[in-house]
Structure 1
Amino acid sequence: MKHQKLLTKFLSNLLILVTILLLSTTTWTIAQEVEDEHEFDYIKGSKKGPSHWGELKKEWAACKNGRMQSPIDMSSHRVRIVPKLGRLQKNYKPQNATLKNRGHDIQVKWEGEAGSININGTDFFLHQAHWHSPSEHTINGRRYDMEVHMVHESSKRNGKSKIAVVGLLYKIGRPDPLLAKLSKYIKRMVDVEAERGIGVIDPFKIKFDGKKYYRYIGSLTVPPCTQGVIWTINKKIRSVSRAQMKLFREAVHDHAERNARPIQLLNKREIHLYGQKPKE
């Protein structure tokens, strides 16, 4: 039994490592999310909507042609359980940050080094976090009320770096403490593309325990839809108040009040669930 668990752990880590190595040897380079939200929108049927993102610019072709796109549905029958591989290693630290209304979302950006997470021996450094409402990822077809993406990037090697995103899903319930702190600033930038310093923000205030989480290889969920992103989705659902969710929707531009990209095809990718004991 012990040997079987060790073999399972080895094969799972090997699969992720091989996938990352294959992606790193291709010709693409890491591209950051598009900041100018006027170039695309979330309106169904719009010429700049999600179904047309890949046609708007040559650099955005992956939005249409990519076979490893995000978000996806974490359906139970697609998930492979990988037990007892340990919690996600987080090494965050408080750092000065700014809050920005990017028109299509609200973003917290850390000005200095705010720490990192470690995935298979590689450190990914935290740069920013932003929110989508409703959630982009779904679990067994259920879409939640909000989702935060914590965007990390590794150090460059041979001129290239890799991206890892940690996602948390929220449902309506008690107010979220961090969002409560941000709300007073967001109220001043409703429908205004502005950026303001908000002092020291501790990334640990975005609470995810890292004990049970989904892991798969996907993409950025906004143009240019860059692939090769390592996604970690916390299994535990957090809570957000209805007023907080409403404020985030009101603050962005009208075409992004519901700023969730539609679910993408899995295309035979594996989804791992870490820390969940297999059924007897």
Structure 2
Amino acid sequence: MRSARHQLAVSALQLLLLLLAVVPAARAQQETEDELEFSYIAGSANGPENWGNIKEEWATCGTGRMQSPIDLPVSASASASASGDLAYLNHTYRPTEASLVNRGHDIMVSFLGGDAAAAGTLWINGTAYHLRQLHWHSPSEHTVDGRRYDLELHMVHQSADNKAAVIGLLYEIGGRNDFLQQLEPYLRSLAETKEKEVNAGVVDPWDARGDGQSYYRYMGSLTTPSCDEGVIWTVINRVATVSSYQLKLLTDAVHDGMEMNARPLQKVNDRDISLFSPDDHREHYYAAADH
């Protein structure tokens, strides 16, 4: 009798332990499947207009006054004034080991060098910003005089005190892009196997940077949550080309619903937008109206 009760107690304990193990596993599986905490779908509960309400630490997405992206002016205006604050970009990039990462909402090239400056450095006003990663948005997030382009590349740099500086490059459909051509095999792998990360070998950021010395400069924010402000934006004033096939590779690899991953334009709120033009070696400043 005692043996039977003992066996029953053991069986009950085993069942309880099994249930305790299954519940967390089910919860973890749900979290994995629901890993996208924000989206780009206007009007949805986690869409761009609601990012600031999803998490307390994302509040800046809704309350910030220096948010990105913005519309950039196409040419000098009558109110433009010369300034000596800007000059040719001072940056040095070098080839380094990298991986291609599918973050669900975008495709990122992550540089793997142990040294903080392994992939190169951008110098702004005496501060060194080291290149950490680059990623793409389709269509472009920034617009120029109201025109939106087919693709935008962000080269994200970080200083020793965790301040960010981003170089943005705009692309329109045309000839094949040389930098993306090098990454095509890895992009196909991400799209076909749904892998999260693949080794991309040695990647040269100079190939991504391309040509163009003229650029816009303004103070803004990250364009994904938590939308932190204080980001120095440099948007190259030259449009490169990308093939339809390459653009499709980028959009096929991301998660469903993220094929168009551009945040809507944000208000300028009287911020100064400057344009460095090497043609005449002067900078034009725009006292941008709130729009």
Q: Secondary structure at the match of 1:204?
A: helix
- Structure 1 partner of 2:148: 143
Q: Secondary structure at the match of 2:131?
A: strand
CA, structure 1 residues 267+210, in 2 after alignment: closer, same or farther (shift >3 Å)? Answer: same
Cα distance in structure 1, aligned partners of 2:75 and 2:179: 34
Cα distance in structure 2, aligned partners of 1:153 and 1:210: 22
Aligned amino acid, residue 240 of structure 1: V
Correspondence 1:247-258 to 2 at 5 A: 247-258=249-260
Q: Secondary structure at the match of 2:209?
A: coil
Are the equivalent residues in 2 in contact too, given 1:102–1:193 (CA < 8 A)?
Answer: no
What's the TM-score, normalizing by structure 2? 0.78
Query: Is 1:153 matched up with 2:154?
Result: no
Are the equivalent residues in 2 in contact too, given 1:86–1:211 (CA < 8 A)?
Answer: no
Shift in Å, 1:114: 0.7
Cα distance in structure 2, aligned partners of 1:193 and 1:48: 25
CA, structure 1 residues 82+127, in 2 after alignment: closer, same or farther (shift >3 Å)? Answer: farther
Question: Quick one: which of 270, 284, 291 aligns to 1:268?
Answer: 270
* Bigger mean CA deviation after superposition, 203-212 or 87-96: 203-212
Aligned amino acid, residue 206 of structure 1: A
- Structure 1 partner of 2:70: 72
Cα distance in structure 1, aligned partners of 2:136 and 2:275: 23
Q: Deviations over 1:167-205 (max 9, x none)?
A: 000001100011111111111112725111111111101
CA, structure 1 residues 114+210, in 2 after alignment: closer, same or farther (shift >3 Å)? Answer: same
Q: Secondary structure at the match of 1:243?
A: helix
Aligned amino acid, residue 185 of structure 1: Y
- The structure having more radius of gyration, on CA atoms, is 2
Count of residue pairs brought into register by the alignment: 240
Q: Secondary structure at the match of 2:238?
A: coil
Q: Deviations over 1:77-133 (max 9, x none)?
A: 787465774310111111100001111000001011111011111110000000000
Which structure is higher in RCO with an 8 Å CA cutoff and minimum separation 6?
Answer: 1
Shift in Å, 1:76: 3.7
Are the equivalent residues in 2 in contact too, given 1:218–1:229 (CA < 8 A)?
Answer: yes
Query: Is 1:176 matched up with 2:183?
Result: no
Aligned amino acid, residue 123 of structure 2: N
Q: Deviations over 1:21-79 (max 9, x none)?
A: xxxxxxxxxxxxxxx96110111111011010000000000000000000000024787
- Structure 1 partner of 2:87: 86
Q: Deviations over 1:241-269 (max 9, x none)?
A: 01111111111112110000000000000
Cα distance in structure 2, aligned partners of 1:142 and 1:119: 28
Are the equivalent residues in 1 in contact too, given 2:214–2:276 (CA < 8 A)?
Answer: yes
Question: Quick one: which of 127, 133, 147 aligns to 2:132?
Answer: 127
What's the TM-score, normalizing by structure 1? 0.81
- Structure 1 partner of 2:49: 51
Are the equivalent residues in 2 in contact too, given 1:128–1:150 (CA < 8 A)?
Answer: yes
Cα distance in structure 2, aligned partners of 1:98 and 1:115: 16
Cα distance in structure 2, aligned partners of 1:199 and 1:77: 40
- Structure 1 partner of 2:196: 194
Are the equivalent residues in 1 in contact too, given 2:190–2:198 (CA < 8 A)?
Answer: no
- Structure 2 partner of 1:232: 234
